[in-house]
Amino acid sequence: MGERLKHVNAEQRTYDEPLGCAFYVLAALSMVLIIITFPFSLFCCIKIVTEYERAVIFRLGRVVSGRAKGPGLFFIFPCMDNVRKIDLRTISFDIPPQEVLTRDSVSATVDAVVYYRIQNPTMSVVEVENVALSTFLLAQTTLRNMLGTRTLAEILTDREAISHEMQSQLDEATDKWGVKVEIVEMKDVRLPRQLQRAMAAEAEASREAKAKVIAAEGEQNAARALREASSVLDQSPAALQLRYLQTLTTISAQNNHTIMFPLPLTLIREIFGRGGGGGSQ
């Protein structure tokens, strides 16, 4: 920040050069003309600028001091001074969609928005012909150059870092114009349709692979839980019978007309074994 202020002050000092004798002669003649035509000359001598404006005065083609006038009233010489009003409010513009080729040879279309303001009116008039057009063209070039050094993945995931870096570069480049670039934001990144379909197919295949892995892990966990449950039921035959009764209760709550209930083979063999033994006696 200190270096920036030094740079601005240095630029201002270059405008404060001594004036020659011709200036004082013309100034005296202008004052005589103002006095003769008073009070009609007041309409030409008094200028007003609003709070968000500053006036850069050129007297005989030279800047009157390095500091712009305003806001409020100020006095000029009608035959000697030329006034340029500069708006200090924040200005925004859209960068049109730019066709860029990323570092991994992928074509993409990117657009952005830039917010800037003029902080030194004198430099913005003297140092550059059209500060708005120059800032606009510089933003376009900076956007293309910066995205050309990034891969597609970096552009899609690191938008905030790219915007901040672009804002820093623009602010440094426009410093000598008296311009402060405040915000740069990338609005949209558009890809060719073929690349979009390829990326969608890749993402879909990746999701399907993850789903299969999750399903297999679920089957493993279920089989492990069933094995533990079977070992518990094997240790307590009464628990197995209670499980059968709970299953019957669950099925009956569904209003089914037919209920198929499995019986253990050991129980069937025991029943048939007892029947066969009674007949032999």
Measured in whole angstroms, the distance separating CA 119 from the mean position of its chain's CA atoms is 24
- Torsion angle, CA of 136/137/139/142, rounded to 10 degrees? 180
What span, in angstroms and rounded, lies between the C-alpha atoms of 187 and 113? 7
* pLDDT tens per residue across all 281 residues of the chain: 444 444 444 444 455 555 667 666 766 777 777 777 777 667 777 888 899 999 998 877 788 776 788 888 888 877 778 889 999 999 999 999 988 888 888 888 899 999 999 999 989 998 898 999 999 999 999 999 888 888 888 888 888 889 999 999 999 999 999 999 999 998 888 887 776 677 777 777 888 888 888 988 888 888 888 788 777 777 776 776 677 777 777 777 766 666 666 666 676 776 676 655 554 44
Radius of gyration for the chain, computed over Cα atoms and rounded to the nearest angstrom? 42
pLDDT at 25: 72
> Under 8 Å CB-to-CB from 156, ≥6 apart: which residues?
189
pLDDT at 91: 93
Structure tokens at 255: 């209003």
* Number of other CB atoms surrounding residue 182 within 10 Å: 15
Residue among 93, 129, 127, 124 nearest 111 (CA): 93
List, in sequence order, the alpha helices (H) in 78-192.
121-126, 131-147, 152-157, 159-173
pLDDT at 6: 45
What span, in angstroms and rounded, lies between the C-alpha atoms of 43 and 226? 99
pLDDT at 181: 94
> Any idea which residue has 């597609």 for tokens?
152
What span, in angstroms and rounded, lies between the C-alpha atoms of 46 and 43? 6
- Tell the CATH superfamily of the 91-195 domain: Band 7 domain (3.30.479.30)
Residue among 170, 143, 172 nearest 159 (CA): 143
Is residue 54 within 8 Å of 125, Cβ to Cβ? no
> Under 8 Å CB-to-CB from 197, ≥6 apart: which residues?
none
Domain borders along the chain are 2-87, 91-195
Residue among 85, 96, 113, 129 nearest 170 (CA): 113
pLDDT at 2: 46
Is residue 158 within 8 Å of 114, Cβ to Cβ? no
| Residue 254 φ then ψ, to 5° | -95, 5
pLDDT at 256: 61
For every residue of 73-106, DSSP letters joined together read: EEE--TTTEEEEEEE-S-EEEEEEEEEEE-TTS-
User: Interior CA angle at 269 toward 273 and 237, to 5°?
Assistant: 120
Is residue 195 within 8 Å of 106, Cβ to Cβ? yes
